[in-house]
Structure 1
């Protein structure tokens, strides 16, 4: 191993060369129900007996709640309950919170004493229909005392700024600087220090179905059942029970297909708490399904909102030595996940490059905006953009080609497993091969020639090129290594599967986390099961279990699901095959060592006609107990709780954060754009993307991830932004103002794959669910900057809207508009 000396690595796996199903592009087993409109989303599950909840949102960014009068709303026919924030605080405890010092910035399902952003809920109406509930909201009278709004994150840090949470005494919820490696030495010895200020504005995932829940509180038993389209961090749902003030064994949260998430439904528990609280008060099932304005203004899941001051130490030959990163991150009014966004960044902070040292300073700032949560990449996509911007700027200042500077600094295949300065490991890779394939797929040299020709004609074509990482399969340590004395140094992030072989040989897989979040879990698990048992994936039944009867699970997030479920399937399969082997040996009157698994059953080595299929074995185990040895139990069902395959603990001084995100994917994106300098419009001429996600499970499904993620990344780069004015008003609270790219703006992608199997995971799989968005913002920014380089223009702020492009052009001495 290169880098620092390490222990604790798991044994290196040997992966078989030939596979029957893993690696095949099969049609999704979920498709029939979704194509028939029978997916079973929240809106599909509402019955006539179900009541509807609607939330009254604050029109102010910052204000004290002086009084609320609900009399008229309560008197409206068809209204069953009206609940204010003060009443909700009597019914529920604060929301689950992984952030620092939650005692001093309490986050509740409704505001109690004051509101802290436009859209924060202040009251709820429960009625026979959503229409009536909305009408009731219009009858609620709220008296506010407006307070100064804190909107700019740098101004929020200034002395005398209004405080979002007075009990904190500051708008800085967290601050720390980490040093990894010999930072000062590397900068002192550098030939050149490249500096820049970069700005990434907030955007967010826009699901087709917003976050919702249907809750039924049974007063006879105290049991609460909640159907919800958010069920990640499954093992932590006892925290929701705590918020509802009920025992955890009285809560059953059942998964419903997400209807789109992209991270924005990661542990999105507020709708579930609201629905359950309302059901308890009203005595009937209650559905709360956000409307679009709810989701955009009061979802607790806006994406990152960062300001960077960066320095990159470089040698004249292009060697990258060290990097200093100083970032301010605007978290909005609360900080539910702490600074986990930056843990994601630190997992791959040096990208694919041999950068020897890192200084990382983060300040988490509270402002009067909707709080940050998760969005595809969870902060690491921002780091990719920042780093690739700096590498491109270094290349330009050194007069180097962007391909050349990357090749010079790539970690080489012989270096893996490779430890980056933070202590995280990259398990495998071949970055040069990915780059070569991307240049070929993009027809790079031809586009460079086209670019030169176009410039002679007064047109501005740009060719972007970035090489960046996609970390996958997080360890729980990333949530607490930020603290010298963490309050809860948890280390478990498992995933579980139960496999059952019925009397006919049919196989059912039971999952214990989110239902259809986007990585086609039913197809993926069916393929993995089929690979183990030599059956048709479409013959495998995949079902879900709620939290009450579920095994430990974490759910999707951090591109972890495929790797973790593959391990769980492998483990459960091994148990089933062990029992089946013993049974087959008894039935065949053979020594178990003389049997081998072939084509879906056990057969005597060298005598293939003497065999028992899995169905032969299963029927005996289910129905013929007395034909088996006495200590063999009936049935053929096994479960596996699969823990993280490779993680190590941080050092006590936090100079080494340990291995916490070890399965490192990689990609190279090459977009070609043309920028209209009169209008600021950006048009795509071509786009190539090559990804290495280890061993592919379903290339067709992965291609969908790449296309969808790239579309979102294009939105981040050019269009999408949650815009707040100086008073904290959200100006882009609908799709009229929040511009999502359509099929007209997203180009056809040429997609390629490389495979460097992980030595530590089943089949060599790495995660791949976030790749497109992890790469596209940096790639598109690089292409636009390349196009405008002759005019002396370099965009350092995303999204690059036409207005921002034209403003940069006007400010450039190379172009007068």
Structure 2
């Protein structure tokens, strides 16, 4: 439940000047979803469609010594069998995140190719080896079982730290498992650590988690021989940004490969960015057979080898602090285990720079990472995009520093918070926080905690009684930042010669705008088109309510659809807590352009100046006269007087990224450092209870005070926050894609990979404040990743607080904090 209650408005009533923006408008998407009318990729099966199944490796690392497809090809339902040999004969390897790697002192680059089917070796359990196409999926699965693959097992490496030793090398062409490294220093961290009164150290582990979408990955490809082009329906995320992963692999130009994503995708949050393999394989098969080909992952395929796992990190943190509680410096080093191949989102190791010091004022920081490859399924993006483990490790070292100083952890945090008068605040890593009052938010969450101590869950008598039962309660508030509205220019930093960045000018910076189209239909209603796919964030609702305000009509008079990858320009897409900011700016811009054209049309019709016409409530009026034109009449007038390709009632607008023209971001942009011009934030106080006899952790209530600038739709904001917190609870306590030492995955069903549910997501008490962003068109900040970024860290530090009386050394040093880990910590502390 939540303490705030978004206001719903009647979208069918007259507008009467009421603003729809800022209201809890019901999501237009929900009706079709709840009534079963939503179309997902699994619902799309063209006429004459064939179906694909994959033969996957059960070895983590092995040579493929032979592939016998004779029995499969003899099956009467078999239409096609594809191996790497077939793929390599006609197509290209799939692009990877690093491309080529310098492997010797001369810096000679070596390629690291990844083919759509395993070539000569397999490098993770679940890697596709053979593709089989048949009349239906059942037959395809049966035929796949007839393929006989012989393997010669090889030594494996399934631990990121061990992979750095290169005793088992996954890719001989590069000769190392460490395929990317960067060491960045801001300020003078050496001096800060040398001069500080104390240096505190800690080691922390963040295990693999992911989104586990309700709808697994799927693709339906149709090749047209006459036009030599492809149409692909799929549920890939960022379809206009990562479509190069498809058309480059197929060896075609972008305009020859049309990628279409349905309006409703059953979950993503980054987990479907890396499904290009399926798009490519179905396209290849369709081209060979000249019939549509469809592939859908089953749940085991998705969990085991679906290329949808996320961050897998080992941190070594150091903090320099003085006796008075001043944070002097940070030293951050981590290893990120990316699995068998470095995919597109390798830049998630850099995104934490956008919130390098979280809500704290620390000037001197060292930041270094090793990106390593192991015999695991490849990583992809996930909600938070690498910021969540960073914030967790940072908050853990803050706890350790407070213990070293024998200082109350909340007071220690308060002394180092960035103050409102410092806003906009420039981080050492050159990103800016736009606005916010962090001390006031921490004060408010402390007031809430104090209420719980007076007859509530933290009442001293209740806490004491629970300890007699072996159950320890605790809470630790903190303020955590969510970076929003990412730009795109920095995201290829790892593929850039860093020596060239010093001389890079602002003119070389290329940011992707947000594209929106709108037109007046014959009946006077509005049709808008998004260029960005959605993963359930309510984009159609936001555009309809914002456009309704700008055009002074009802949201019910506006329909919002989507463009495919050919009709749409290249977009950064639905990621990085970006869309509320970008769509609101694009909507304002497209409305202004459409209104200007409407007034021009009316003025031309009446033979007067545009100064003599005015627009109000969906009608253009002639000043000093009774003449008026409705939107339907304007559309008719335009059709009668304007060529079809030049219609003034059809407009488009590109809204530039907010940081594009701001001098404050000059240094970050030219140096290709992460630029996120909005900083939403929240102060959390989850009350946890730890059973020291079993190691079980229960969250009794989750208090949070959140700020995302102007709330465009409070209902959507709350939905995003609740969902993010639920995902954060799963990350903190339940979820992990564990692996055995031999690379065998331990979680390939939902009996093994545990998800949060109504049983373990507690009551959520949520309050909101609003400090509008000075950098965005509507004052809105990004909000899509917040709960996942902040909840795990808050839960972990609250576990530390709960067990503080037992003097357990950093009990939550590993995410997820599972019972056996806590029991081990307790045993080692003799408790």
Q: Same fold (TM over 0.5)?
A: yes
SS in structure 1 of the partner of residue 334 of structure 2: strand
What is the CA distance between 1:231 and its match in structure 2?
3.9
Once the two structures are superposed, what CA deviation does each residue of 1:33-65 show, in whole Å capped at 9, x if it has no partner?
111212111111124521111111101110011
Describe how 1:149-228 pairs up with structure 2 within 5 A.
149-158=156-165, 161-228=167-234
CA spacing shift, 1:24–1:37, aligned 2, 3 Å? same
Unaligned runs of 5+ in 2: 1-16, 102-109, 502-507
In structure 2, what is the Cα distance between the partners aligned to 1:451 and 1:365? 48
Matched, 1:73 2:72: yes
* 1:735-788 CA-partner distances (Å, limit 9, x unpaired): 111111211011121111111111121211111111110111111111211111
**What is the alpha-carbon distance in structure 2 between the residues aligned to residue 773 and residue 445 of structure 1?**
27
Is 1:478 matched up with 2:483? no
Do the aligned partners of residues 418 and 281 (structure 1) sit closer, same or farther apart at CA in structure 2, a change above 3 Å counting?
same
Q: Could you tell me which runs of 5 or more consecutive residues in structure 1 were left unpaired when the two chains were aligned.
A: 1-17
1:801 is aligned to 2:818: yes
User: Residues 110-155 of structure 1: CA distance to partner in whole angstroms, max 9, x if unpaired?
Assistant: 1111000111110011111111111111111111111100111111
Root-mean-square deviation (CA, aligned residues, Å) is 2.5
Match of 1:497 in 2: 516
Of residues 115, 123, 136 in structure 2, which corresponds to 1:129? 136
Tell me, yes or no, if structure 1 residue 553 matches structure 2 residue 562.
no
* Alignment match, 2:459: 450
Which deviates more, 582-591 or 780-789? 582-591
- Counterpart-to-counterpart distance in 1, 2:394 and 2:439: 18
Q: Judge conservation of contact 1:551–1:641 (CA < 8 Å) in 2.
A: no
Are the aligned partners of 1:100 and 1:173 in contact in 2 as well (CA < 8 Å)? no
Q: How far apart are the structure 2 equivalents of 1:99 and 1:756?
A: 39
* Maintained 8 Å contact 2:274/2:308: no
Instruction: Indicate whether 1:763 and 2:782 are aligned.
Output: no
Residue aligning to 2:601: 583
* Aligned partners of 1:651 and 1:657 also within 8 Å: no
Distance 1:652 1:356, change over 3 A: closer
Structure 1 equivalent of residue 107 of structure 2: none
* 1:234 counterpart residue number: 240
Matched, 1:538 2:565: no
Does structure 1 retain, via aligned residues, the 8 Å contact 2:445–2:477? no
Which of residues 280, 297, 300 in structure 2 aligns to 1:273? 280
Within a 5 Å distance, the mapping from 1:60-99 to structure 2 comes to 60-99=59-98
Relative to structure 1, is the Cα distance of residues 454 and 44 closer, same or farther in structure 2, using a 3 angstrom cutoff?
same
CA distance in 2, matches of 1:716, 1:555: 25
Residue 396 (structure 1) shift: 2.4
Alpha-carbon spacing, 1:421–1:373, altered in 2? closer, same or farther (3 Å): same
Check the 8 A contact 1:230/1:268 in 2, yes or no: yes
1:352 aligns with 2:356: no
* Structure 2 counterpart of 1:715: 730
Could you list the per-position Cα deviations for residues 387-438 of structure 1 after superposition, in whole angstroms to 9, with x for gaps in the alignment? 1112222222223333322222121222111110011111111212332333
Match of 1:370 in 2: 377
Q: CA deviation at 1:652?
A: 9.4
Paired position in structure 2 for 1:706: 721
Aligned to 2:690: 675
* Alignment CA distance shift 1:547-1:633 (3 Å): closer
CA 638–789 in structure 1, closer or farther in 2 if over 3 Å, else same:
same
Larger mean CA deviation between 684-693 and 59-68 belongs to: 684-693
- 8 Å Cα contact 1:484-1:652 kept in structure 2: no
User: 1:158-208: per-residue Cα shift (whole Å, max 9, x none)?
Assistant: 25x110111111110111210011212222222222210011111111000
Cα separation, 2, equivalents of 1:636 and 1:441? 53
SS at match of 1:321: strand
CA distance in 1, matches of 2:485, 2:667: 23
Equivalences, count: 790
Is it true that 1:510 corresponds to 2:516 in the alignment?
no
SS in 1 for 2:706: strand
Q: Please state how far the C-alpha of 1:325 moved relative to its aligned partner.
A: 0.3
CA shift for structure 1 position 615: 4.0
Matched residue of 1:711: which SS? Answer: helix
In structure 2, how many angstroms separate the alpha carbons of the residues matched to 1:636 and 1:718? Answer: 53
Q: How far apart are the structure 1 equivalents of 2:655 and 2:666?
A: 25
CA gap of 1:209–1:659, structure 2 versus 1, over 3 A, is: closer
Counterparts of 1:644-659 in structure 2 under 5 Å? Answer: 644-647=657-660, 657=672
What secondary structure does 1:271 align onto? Answer: helix
Distance 1:147 1:512, change over 3 A: same
Choose the corresponding residue for 1:307, options 306, 314, 325: 314
Q: Describe the shift of the 1:128–1:233 C-alpha distance in structure 2 as closer, same or farther (beyond 3 A).
A: closer
When residues 597 and 415 of structure 1 are mapped into structure 2, their CA distance, relative to the original with a 3 A threshold, is farther
2:440 equivalent in structure 1: 433
Q: 1:225 to 1:655 in 2, by over 3 A?
A: closer
Contact persistence 2:509–2:669 (CA under 8 A) = no
For the Cα contact (< 8 Å) 1:91–1:277, is it kept in 2?
no
Is the 2:239–2:565 Cα contact (8 Å) retained in structure 1?
no
C-alpha contact 1:233 1:267 (8 A) present in aligned 2: no
**Structure 2 CA distance, aligned partners of 1:302 and 1:753?**
32
CA contact (8 A) 2:429 2:668 kept: no
Q: Is the 8 A contact 2:396 2:793 kept in 1?
A: yes
Q: 1:611 to 1:413 in 2, by over 3 A?
A: farther
CA distance in 1, matches of 2:600, 2:395: 56
Cα distance in 1 for residues equivalent to 2:645 and 2:63: 68
Normalised by the length of structure 1, the TM-score is 0.92
State the alpha-carbon separation in 1 of the partners of residues 602 and 153 from structure 2. Answer: 76
Q: Is the 8 A contact 1:481 1:657 kept in 2?
A: yes
CA displacement 1:264-287 (0-9 Å, x = unmatched): 012531111111112112221111
Q: TM-score, normalised by structure 2?
A: 0.91
